[in-house]
Structure 1
């Protein structure tokens, strides 16, 4: 991948240049920006050149765009239609740029114009018989085939570029009206089920267009995949996801450099298994390679292979902010918050005016509790563009960190007013409503978050936690399981599942979930967090270095006690107090009989086998020590009971109970000696 020849680099630059122009022509501005940024992220080779600009030697080796083979290969029929529609296309594009979407669509699709009300010149005369309305109605019904014929004629005589722009304008007009009908955010009319009413018409038009192109195969060649891309969007909005995948895959085969098509395809992939099933269907080129990296990051993968893949791509695009962002997000999902923060800081220094993904950077600073840097980031983004969703997220996170939750909600609502599909804003607003004890609004916010992005594990976890506050354990368990499915290596998710299982009486399942939490915790070093940590920092993972979470071990022990398995309970209580000084390889013999635990925590010791530093004395370890002291007393092991009780007296936890136990032990030992 990194050993591209000069010719390969030149061809890649040509494709990216064409992609930026072609996407901009079709008003796909985000895709055009992505292609232009990638085009300018190659290693600059002309900075130290002494060649004069006017010199013939200054001409680039890159072939001019319009003469590069394979980039603008459209058939003569489409070329003639493009030339014929040029003036009207320029008019339609200016309408789109001015956000006059209906006017833009009406340039090439006049049959979609709204009906004009009667005026004095169009109204029927007073002498018209009263039967005329019914007659007109009948004529309207009879005219339906004529309208279909008119649409067919329009589709056959309109270039694909013009048709795409017209239908894309209709789509945006429908989205705009949908937001207007929803009115105030989370208001009475904002139910989350308002639909884009233009989707049906767009779908019908594209259905007919594809049917015509199946008949006229010559006109179907080299369409660029743009209409397939738009049809994929429409199908996805209509919840026809499998067919949407087919059309988006067809689109990226026809034109791989439309990054928007890859993003839409990624939105339809919810699991690693689905990604593995889709990859063989994609074209074998660099864009698929880049999509694999992007989608793996979106699915919270953080493997060394993925890291190496980004490094290889960065050898080609060393100045790419996009690739650096993917690297930072991978570290973020792996809970390497310090590493992710450093990468984002480097991106910010290299691109100080770039706001993309700074909302994730603010999440990291929030988890780290870095108030000064988060304050600086909020001031910087506000000075650049105060009305970008990312800016509002950064400001909202800063206000949340300073416990100004009401003001924080205002900024998250502002972000959603600017873009209602901004899933992270819904999730963060749900967190703030939880802090404000407004569970109804929190649940609605989380639901809207998972509607926008079903891969947002924080929203699923938030729903579980909110229902747990309400005592609705079955609901809570369902949402925690969804979060755990998305984050199978996050101990906090499995601990939550285990707690709910225990609440509803499924003790065996609860024990298995807690053991899964112990295994998962060894994958992350963890970090700190606030009162409502949103799943950002794992509970047991925060102990770092592979140390087992004493609280999780204690919960497992308590579950075994509820199952009347005192021996297994005692084994786990021993493990709890062993975490004070760390688990040493020399203690393995103490758990010789506990095969179930050894198999479930096989990955816990470090590579050197030297064990781990402990967590010190905690309230949980003291409770485990007290339980073991009493259990030893009940078994008649007074020496062991006295040792544990004396340790409790020194720890300063449960001192009175420990002293009482010491007195009981001494009395019993004296009675036995007597």
Structure 2
């Protein structure tokens, strides 16, 4: 497999026959629904809808029934009706002894979902979402034993392998789960659920490099998704653009993923524009609307966020995304208790919903409840170890608790996930400063500036560090670069640290006997509110200082 950073286009994937691809999607959508895999069925259906309609003669034929399918048909039909009503134990009871692949999968899947439902009920009713502790799905071990026997006997089809992988992942057997999911993608490459589960287990691009994946057009969707998850946004956007060019320009799934990718690199205007377009194409969509609300929150767009919250409530107020959007709305209004309540509601609906754990951690931070924030962030990491926001949030909480070694560990983890995010680097630099590791701190601040300083503070912090170490020339260079950046990007010149920069440069130029430069910097400094900070004994020659003070309307004589 090619190196992750070098991917352009669609590799060896064949998208020449889109009508055949549509037939495959319609077929796997139906097979997924027959097995109760609603999300996989929906994904395939949405992708198929983005392609041109097929003629009657081109529609996929119904699946061929085996003798075992015929024998199990009555039990399967009855059990599937119970399954659809979420009566999982009842469905499993009537499927005992079934031998066909489809009925056997539904039997095992019903047992798995029954265990999950009981676990979630116990989590919510007995403990509450912040104290879920070690509640486990009691059915997992039995399912593993039975599926393992079938696997060794090579009696599992692609769907069975997918379920076996899910059970292994739930038992924290990640390596075995990855192997099984890879096998599932080879046996049934059209099943999106197996690819998605594999995504959740890949922690870095090195793991991705060594996966032996099938050469199929589905791999391109997987790669685009995993690049987004691994914060390889440039590669992800290239993949999605190639998929659009290949014929999927009408796919709302691809459009939403592109919006999420721009959200991840904090290109807020671009992401907002794409989400607004997506809402026009699919006005009743709820998926990804919590991400859309995050963007509205960052932009402090209260009316738009209020409208989105009310709109989603009308569509389905008991979806986790809806609860998160309402939580963001209350958070923007500084009603943090109400916001936390809605994030808790989201977790009652789905205890494994990553966004709600992270957002709830943020709300507890706002309420100064650091212990609850730590719990929430830890739960977010349990759900997804790639969530840099949770690692960063833990760093912030331990910073508040004045525990710099813990703080450093968590910021390092966040930085590993977002190596080009200046916020992580600045946070690391501040930690190193507190630990008196000043060389490391300087490296972090300079790197933060080099990757594009979002908050425009890295150079100031680096300059102050040089000041502290009596490295006046380096400090002056940092302040000069900082002032140039502030002015060039068109920000309000009265930036918090600009007057500090001019003040230092006035002192520096005076010591270097560069009177004109010193005078210019002092006068610039005096144009800010904190004028007194510039009027320092001996900074400028007598005539220049008197002129500067006179300009301000101050009757000044030389300060001795």
Summarize deviations over 1:374-415 as a string: whole Å, max 9, x none: 111111110011101111111111111111211111111111
Distance change in 2, residues 1:158/1:663 (3 Å): closer
Summarize deviations over 1:259-302 as a string: whole Å, max 9, x none: 11111110001223322332xx1111110011111111222222
- Farther-moved stretch of structure 1 (366-375 vs 314-323): 314-323
Residue in 2 that maps onto 1:42: 51
Distance change in 2, residues 1:197/1:628 (3 Å): same
Normalising by structure 2, what TM-score? 0.89
Distance change in 2, residues 1:185/1:567 (3 Å): farther
In the alignment, the residues of structure 2 paired with residue 557 and residue 565 of structure 1 have an alpha-carbon distance, to the nearest angstrom, of 9
Unaligned segments of structure 2, at least 5 residues:
1-9, 547-560
Summarize deviations over 1:568-600 as a string: whole Å, max 9, x none: 223223333333544xxxxxxxxxxxxxxxxxx
Name which of 187, 190, 199 aligns with 1:266.
Answer: 199
Deviation for aligned residue 1:559: 1.7
Distance change in 2, residues 1:660/1:250 (3 Å): closer
Residue in 1 that maps onto 2:555: none
Q: Give the RMSD, CA atoms, in angstroms.
A: 2.6
In the alignment, the residues of structure 1 paired with residue 126 and residue 542 of structure 2 have an alpha-carbon distance, to the nearest angstrom, of 69
Residue in 2 that maps onto 1:226: 159
Name which of 17, 22, 35 aligns with 1:13.
Answer: 22
Deviation for aligned residue 1:656: 2.6
Distance change in 2, residues 1:312/1:107 (3 Å): same
Distance change in 2, residues 1:639/1:347 (3 Å): closer
Matched, 1:307 2:303: no
Distance change in 2, residues 1:185/1:455 (3 Å): farther
- Farther-moved stretch of structure 1 (36-45 vs 362-371): 36-45
Deviation for aligned residue 1:420: 0.5
Summarize deviations over 1:113-133 as a string: whole Å, max 9, x none: xxxxxxxxxxxxxxxxxxxxx
Residue in 1 that maps onto 2:466: 560
Partner SS for 1:234: helix
Matched, 1:291 2:300: no
Residue in 1 that maps onto 2:309: 378
Partner SS for 2:210: helix
Residue in 2 that maps onto 1:443: 374
**Is contact 1:646-1:662 (8 Å) kept?**
no
**Is contact 1:638-1:669 (8 Å) kept?**
no
Matched, 1:235 2:158: no
**Is contact 2:519-2:540 (8 Å) kept?**
no
Name which of 512, 515, 518 aligns with 2:443.
Answer: 512
Name which of 47, 56, 59 aligns with 1:60.
Answer: 56
Work out the number of aligned pairs and report it.
534
Normalising by structure 1, what TM-score? 0.75
Partner SS for 1:618: coil
Residue in 2 that maps onto 1:541: 454
Matches within 5 A, 1:119-138: none
**Is contact 2:213-2:219 (8 Å) kept?**
yes
Deviation for aligned residue 1:560: 2.1
- Farther-moved stretch of structure 1 (618-627 vs 337-346): 618-627
Residue in 1 that maps onto 2:356: 425
In the alignment, the residues of structure 2 paired with residue 318 and residue 361 of structure 1 have an alpha-carbon distance, to the nearest angstrom, of 21
In the alignment, the residues of structure 2 paired with residue 371 and residue 580 of structure 1 have an alpha-carbon distance, to the nearest angstrom, of 28
**Is contact 1:498-1:509 (8 Å) kept?**
yes
Distance change in 2, residues 1:394/1:654 (3 Å): closer
Name which of 257, 264, 273 aligns with 1:333.
Answer: 264
- Farther-moved stretch of structure 1 (388-397 vs 328-337): 328-337
Residue in 1 that maps onto 2:208: 275
Summarize deviations over 1:117-155 as a string: whole Å, max 9, x none: xxxxxxxxxxxxxxxxxxxxxxxxxxxxxxxxxxxxx5x
**Is contact 2:14-2:216 (8 Å) kept?**
no
Q: Which is higher, the Rg of structure 1 or of structure 2?
A: 1
In the alignment, the residues of structure 1 paired with residue 252 and residue 130 of structure 2 have an alpha-carbon distance, to the nearest angstrom, of 40
Matched, 1:173 2:160: no
Distance change in 2, residues 1:189/1:314 (3 Å): closer
In the alignment, the residues of structure 2 paired with residue 188 and residue 359 of structure 1 have an alpha-carbon distance, to the nearest angstrom, of 19
Residue in 1 that maps onto 2:138: 197
Matched, 1:390 2:321: yes
Unaligned segments of structure 1, at least 5 residues:
46-58, 67-71, 110-153, 214-219, 522-539, 543-548, 583-611
**Is contact 2:225-2:236 (8 Å) kept?**
no
Residue in 2 that maps onto 1:164: 105
Deviation for aligned residue 1:185: 8.4
Matched, 1:27 2:41: no
In the alignment, the residues of structure 2 paired with residue 560 and residue 394 of structure 1 have an alpha-carbon distance, to the nearest angstrom, of 44
Deviation for aligned residue 1:354: 1.6
In the alignment, the residues of structure 1 paired with residue 131 and residue 528 of structure 2 have an alpha-carbon distance, to the nearest angstrom, of 55
Deviation for aligned residue 1:653: 4.2
Matched, 1:470 2:346: no
Distance change in 2, residues 1:471/1:663 (3 Å): closer
Residue in 1 that maps onto 2:535: 659
Residue in 1 that maps onto 2:500: 623
Deviation for aligned residue 1:438: 1.1
**Is contact 2:26-2:60 (8 Å) kept?**
no
Deviation for aligned residue 1:245: 0.7
Matched, 1:89 2:30: no
**Is contact 1:641-1:665 (8 Å) kept?**
no
In the alignment, the residues of structure 1 paired with residue 274 and residue 536 of structure 2 have an alpha-carbon distance, to the nearest angstrom, of 56
Residue in 1 that maps onto 2:283: 352
In the alignment, the residues of structure 2 paired with residue 619 and residue 90 of structure 1 have an alpha-carbon distance, to the nearest angstrom, of 69
Matched, 1:404 2:404: no
Summarize deviations over 1:84-115 as a string: whole Å, max 9, x none: 11111122222212222122222334xxxxxx
**Is contact 1:645-1:661 (8 Å) kept?**
no
In the alignment, the residues of structure 2 paired with residue 614 and residue 344 of structure 1 have an alpha-carbon distance, to the nearest angstrom, of 27
In the alignment, the residues of structure 1 paired with residue 397 and residue 539 of structure 2 have an alpha-carbon distance, to the nearest angstrom, of 46
Distance change in 2, residues 1:566/1:288 (3 Å): same
